[in-house]
């Protein structure tokens, strides 16, 4: 097989890129190791910045999102001293976020790509890349029991954190920045009326978060040990911790049937540069951020927006100038988002290693936010999404 851009991975990064390239008349093939059903049902985060929604709209993949998503104009942070309320349009000004599950985004993008006759090969697992330093790099993949090759001009490594593309960049040119936090999140989906507001909480038992997926489905999280198994969390223990950590004064938290439980890691990771030869990494393949910022998907969308523009220039004019700037352009945003996600993680979690001094400083930061509009503004402007800088 031969194409202009070989895209490895059908997550948000790979699918958004495929639609942008298709719009620009550039041929591409998406290889995805999992089945369609698997990628469409994988539960992930659910907060979209306006820039991400705008991109879905530009690509004509926004109809269901407009009908079913939930606009969110407020963010609350609860702690022992009260509730810090961030009125997003007042602080940003005029901006809000959109609550819509990542798997719904993925479903919409897959449907749009297939409707337009674009290629996505499911259960096609990339095994290795070759020739990334040459003009015809190749993706070697396994499909329907056979070894196949996809010859390309450019490879887009959109294969997530555990993918194989990042490994094709020689170790000596790659710098990895990593922080593993000493806890995870237990996440549940339940058939219960959600909190009225997106509510993060700092409690002495640990962090909690009340989010939602629909007017009748809650998405709730509690901080837990990183190596916990969901089986260690019977339903009654989860509800007990949620009531306590969310400072429920009675009747706020609706206990419904829990139909999904998972434990997710909390870590930050950045690999730089995001480009080597004819290979370009985007999304989780290059970086992951702790979930406290709700930024993973939005950052993936920001990367491929830059990549699509650079590829359009390359295929139109032959110029590699924008492609050469791709990594630097993306990493500027990535580090700002890492900073914000790290800040929110440090602000809201209980760290067993914290000294009494560090606990007091964390508490003082929360008290400061409660009474300072400029401090709340810095959270709000990051939460709704930083503006895109021209490259
Ligand atoms: N060959 C083909 N596909 C692969 C391979 C491989 N060797 N390895 C991984 N993949 C696929 C995965 O199955 C997955 O569907 O690549 C896809 C990567 O998608 P994501 O992990 O969703 O990553 P990305 O598109 O960068 O989106 C980032 O996802 O992890 C969340 O919170 C994160 O919201 C963020 C978003
Ligand atoms: C979610 O809805 O899953 C969610 C919301 C906010 C976060 C993380 C996850 O920070």
User: Which of 239, 32, 63, 287 shows the shortest CA–CA distance to 139?
Assistant: 32
Q: How far is the CA of 141 from the centre of ligand 2 (A)?
A: 34
**331-342 pLDDT per residue, tens:** 999 999 999 999
221 with 187: CB under 8 angstroms? yes
Q: How far is the CA of 259 from the centre of ligand 1 (A)?
A: 24
**57-88 pLDDT per residue, tens:** 999 999 999 999 999 999 999 999 999 999 99
Structure tokens at 53: 């929604």
State the pLDDT at residue 380.
98
Q: Give the mutation target among 198, 212, 337 for probing the ligand 2 site: most ligand atoms within 8 A of CB.
A: 198
State the pLDDT at residue 315.
98
State the pLDDT at residue 28.
98
163 with 157: CB under 8 angstroms? yes
260 with 163: CB under 8 angstroms? no
Tell me the pairing of strands 119-121 and 97-99: unpaired
Question: What value does the CA radius of gyration of the chain take, rounded to a whole number of Å?
Answer: 21
304 with 52: CB under 8 angstroms? no
Query: Quick one: DSSP state of residue 130?
Result: E
Query: Which stretches of the chain score pLDDT less than 50?
Result: none
User: Which of 84, 107, 159, 96 shows the shortest CA–CA distance to 128?
Assistant: 159
Orientation angle between helical segments 296-317 and 321-348, nearest 10 degrees: 180
State the pLDDT at residue 20.
98
Q: What is the C-alpha to C-alpha distance for residues 125 and 148, in angstroms, rounded to an integer?
A: 10
State the pLDDT at residue 338.
98
CA distances to 52, 78, 202, 210 from 247, rounded to whole Å, are 32, 8, 10, 11
Structure tokens at 360: 């007091």
State the pLDDT at residue 251.
87
Q: Which atom of ligand 1 is nearest to the CA of 141?
A: 1
CA distances to 132, 186, 232 from 262, rounded to whole Å, are 37, 6, 11
Q: Give the mutation target among 46, 48, 266, 379 for probing the ligand 2 site: most ligand atoms within 8 A of CB.
A: 46
Q: How far is the CA of 263 from the centre of ligand 1 (A)?
A: 18
State the pLDDT at residue 391.
74
Nearest ligand to the CA of 46 is 2
């Amino acid at each position: 097989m031969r194409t202009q851009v070989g895209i490895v991975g059908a997550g948000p990064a790979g699918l958004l890129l495929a639609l942008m390239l298709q719009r620009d008349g550039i041929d591409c093939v998406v290889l995805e190791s999992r089945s369609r059903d698997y990628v469409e049902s994988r539960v992930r985060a659910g907060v979209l910045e306006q820039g991400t929604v705008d991109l879905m709209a530009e690509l004509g993949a926004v109809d269901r999102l407009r009908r079913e998503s939930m606009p969110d104009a407020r963010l609350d942070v609860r702690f022992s001293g009260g509730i810090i309320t961030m009125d997003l349009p007042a602080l940003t000004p005029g901006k809000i976020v959109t609550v819509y599950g990542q798997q719904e985004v993925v479903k919409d993008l897959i449907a749009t790509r297939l409707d337009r006759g674009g290629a996505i090969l499911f259960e096609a697992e990339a095994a290795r890349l070759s020739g990334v330093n040459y003009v015809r790099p190749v993706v070697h993949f396994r499909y329907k029991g056979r070894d196949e090759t996809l010859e390309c001009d450019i490879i887009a490594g959109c294969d997530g954190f555990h993918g194989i593309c990042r490994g094709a960049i020689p170790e000596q040119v790659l710098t990895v920045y990593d922080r593993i936090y000493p806890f995870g999140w237990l996440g549940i989906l339940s058939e219960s009326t959600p909190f009225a507001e997106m509510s993060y909480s700092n409690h002495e038992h640990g962090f909690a978060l009340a989010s939602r997926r629909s007017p009748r489905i809650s998405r709730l999280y509690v901080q837990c040990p990183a190596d916990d198994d969901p089986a260690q969390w019977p339903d009654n223990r989860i509800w007990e911790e949620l009531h306590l950590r969310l400072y429920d004064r009675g009747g706020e938290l609706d206990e419904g049937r829990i139909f999904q439980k998972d434990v997710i890691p909390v870590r930050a990771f950045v690999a730089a540069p995001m480009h080597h030869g004819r290979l370009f990494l985007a999304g989780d393949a290059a970086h992951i951020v702790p979930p406290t910022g709700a930024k993973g998907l939005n950052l993936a969308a920001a990367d491929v927006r830059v990549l699509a523009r650079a590829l359009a220039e390359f295929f139109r004019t032959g110029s590699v100038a924008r492609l050469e700037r791709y990594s630097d352009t993306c990493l500027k945003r990535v580090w700002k988002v890492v900073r914000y996600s790290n800040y929110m993680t440090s602000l809201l979690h209980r760290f067993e290693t914290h000294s009494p001094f560090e606990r007091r400083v964390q508490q003082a930061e929360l008290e400061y936010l409660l009474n300072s509009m400029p401090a709340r503004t810095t959270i709000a402007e990051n939460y709704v999404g930083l503006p895109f800088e021209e490259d």
